[in-house]
Amino acid sequence: MSVYPVILCGGSGTRLWPMSRGGYPKQYLKLSGDFTLVQQTALRLADAPGVGAPIVITNQDQRFLVADQLHSIGVIPSAIVLEPAGRNTAPAVAAAALLLAEKDPHALMLILPSDHVIANNSVFAKLAAEAGEIAQSGRLVTFGIEPTMPHTGYGYIRGGNVLASHEGAYVVDAFIEKPNVETANRFLAEGGYYWNSGMFMMKVSTYLEELARFEPKVLEHVELSLASAKRDDDFTRLDQQAFEGSPNISIDYAVMEKTECATVIAASGLGWSDIGSWSSLADISTRDDQGNTLTGDVMTDDVAQSYIRAEHRMVAAIGVKDLVIVETADAVLVAHRRETERVKKIVERLNESGRHESVTHRKVARPWGSYESIDQGERFQVKRIIVNPGSSLSLQMHHHRAEHWIVVRGTARIFNEGQELLLAENQSTYIPLGAKHRLQNPGKIPLELIEVQSGSYLGEDDIVRFEDNYGRDVKAL
């Protein structure tokens, strides 16, 4: 029986701001190791026998991030499903289950959040194999992390009777909401309690049967959204109206807390972390003799027990202890290690004030490449634009700005009001306000150019698209 990873990849983490942002959340960052978190998740069982290509559940805004990051590590998903609205994990898993049921209703799903770290993949592979054996019998298996401290940020699972013939697996006795410190300490002292990891192993048919039993509206609306979905070679776009009709509910509330088939398997030795804060990332990071984790161009003097990360500039710290310092191109975070959970309050204030730093970085990924703001002032803005080989921007125009393009590297094919230009390095052209234009990279290496915008309004929403290769909204010609 084949196992298919189902990677849940639509979150927009805020606790790791300023690196993780609404438009580029933590699963796409290299926070621990040489691969991003979603890449680590996809590679975790890629070479294990009997494991099929993953199904990825994400959203419209992140679809090209997912596709690009998986392509770069040679992972070809069996489907990338786009949710038109956030409806929590029960509908997301239902969409994956229904897709798998089309070819094998008895297949196993290994449901994995995309933003966790597991240091010991070999231990995880053995645990997943055991969970698969249990799930084949119709049990719904959740991975319970053996607690190492009285953590109040996780939900807990209380194990009951030992599952026959499976040492270390237990019938679930109860799911428990995030406890206070006193209760968490009691759980740790008594034993038999596990952190709820959000990872599951279950048979497709079992999940669909239990979902139909306990939350039939979820199944009904996801079936409708899949029946009306738009499918192409790259994405499965669920129908918005049908999907939005589904209850917003987690797999725990929808099924796991109600079913009689819930099983928890004790997961120890994984080196697991959900990296829920800068403090938790610091806890799993390599430290020097002073207890510091220093990443990037960092210089310190008399610094201890601190996590300091420089992404763009040199960071110097003197005479401090127990700090988290994170530098990006457009924001710097300084916090006490005990207070990093409060980062989300900063993000809330940024959102309330309409500031872009909660959503985008100075460098913004696009399906054709990226752009980065270099400088800006009244009535002008300078950007560095990278266009991937063979890629093309949309045919577009602007109501409020003109643009100057200077090619720095590579070759640019430019369409400007019916004229076609081929520009090489150190050549430039001008795009007048209101002119229909398009930029393409016909070459084999990335195209790099500098764009100088000038005009009365320079926002990204001053783009009228007439043709687009990436499914974005266009205006009829």
Render each residue's pLDDT in the chain as its tens digit; 477 residues. 799 999 999 777 789 999 999 889 999 999 998 999 999 999 999 888 899 999 999 999 899 999 999 999 999 999 999 999 999 999 999 999 999 999 898 899 999 999 999 999 999 999 999 999 999 999 999 999 999 999 998 999 999 999 887 889 999 999 999 999 999 999 999 999 999 999 999 999 999 999 999 999 999 999 999 999 999 878 999 999 999 999 999 999 999 999 999 999 999 999 999 999 999 999 999 999 999 999 999 999 999 999 999 999 999 999 999 999 999 999 999 999 999 999 999 999 999 999 989 999 999 889 999 999 999 999 999 999 999 999 999 999 999 999 999 999 999 999 999 899 999 999 999 999 999 999 999 999 999 999 999 999 999 899 999 999 887 778 755
* 129 and 22 together in one domain: yes
* pLDDT score for 476: 59
Neighbouring residues of 378: CB distance < 8 A, sequence distance ≥ 6:
none
Q: Answer yes or no: is 280 within a domain.
A: no
> From CA 20, how far away is CA 16, in angstroms rounded?
5
Q: Which domain holds residue 161?
A: 3-273
Return the closest-CA partner of residue 379 out of 331, 326, 327, 433.
433
Q: Answer yes or no: is 358 within a domain.
A: no
Q: Could you tell me the two tokens for 313?
A: 């500039």
Examine the fold and report which residue of 228, 250, 273 is the final residue of a domain before the chain moves on. 273
> From CA 228, how far away is CA 12, in angstroms rounded?
26
Q: Answer yes or no: is 43 within a domain.
A: yes
Amino acid code (one letter) for 448: E
* pLDDT score for 388: 95
- Evaluate whether 442 touches 378 at the Cβ level (below 8 Å): no
* 258 and 179 together in one domain: yes
Q: Answer yes or no: is 323 within a domain.
A: yes
Examine the fold and report which residue of 221, 246, 273 is the final residue of a domain before the chain moves on. 273
* 188 and 233 together in one domain: yes
- Evaluate whether 373 touches 451 at the Cβ level (below 8 Å): no
Q: Answer yes or no: is 350 within a domain.
A: no
CATH number of the domain at 376, please.
2.60.120.10
Residue spans of beta strands (DSSP E) within 330-387:
332-336, 363-366, 369-377, 380-387
Q: Answer yes or no: is 355 within a domain.
A: no
* 40 and 93 together in one domain: yes
pLDDT tens sequence across 337-395: 999 999 999 999 999 999 989 999 999 889 999 999 999 999 999 999 999 999 999 99
* 291 and 234 together in one domain: no
Q: Could you tell me the two tokens for 422?
A: 């081929």
* 138 and 197 together in one domain: yes
CB atoms within 10 A of CB 279: 20
DSSP-derived letter for residue 45 is T
Q: What secondary structure does DSSP assign to 118-135, as a single string?
A: ES-HHHHHHHHHHHHHHH
Edge-to-edge strand list for the sheet holding 332-336:
293-295, 307-310, 323-327, 332-336
If DSSP codes are grouped into helix, strand and coil, which group holds residue 22? Answer: coil
* 294 and 254 together in one domain: no
Q: Answer yes or no: is 249 within a domain.
A: yes
* 213 and 124 together in one domain: yes
Return the closest-CA partner of residue 252 out of 105, 165, 129, 140.
140
* pLDDT score for 418: 87
* pLDDT score for 233: 79
Examine the fold and report which residue of 273, 304, 319 is the final residue of a domain before the chain moves on. 273
* 252 and 384 together in one domain: no
* 371 and 423 together in one domain: yes
* 137 and 241 together in one domain: yes
Q: Could you tell me the two tokens for 148?
A: 């190492």
* pLDDT score for 48: 87
Number of domains present in the structure of the chain: 3
- Evaluate whether 449 touches 405 at the Cβ level (below 8 Å): yes
Pairing of strands 79-83, 236-237: parallel
* pLDDT score for 46: 87
* 210 and 305 together in one domain: no
Q: Answer yes or no: is 9 within a domain.
A: yes
* pLDDT score for 237: 96
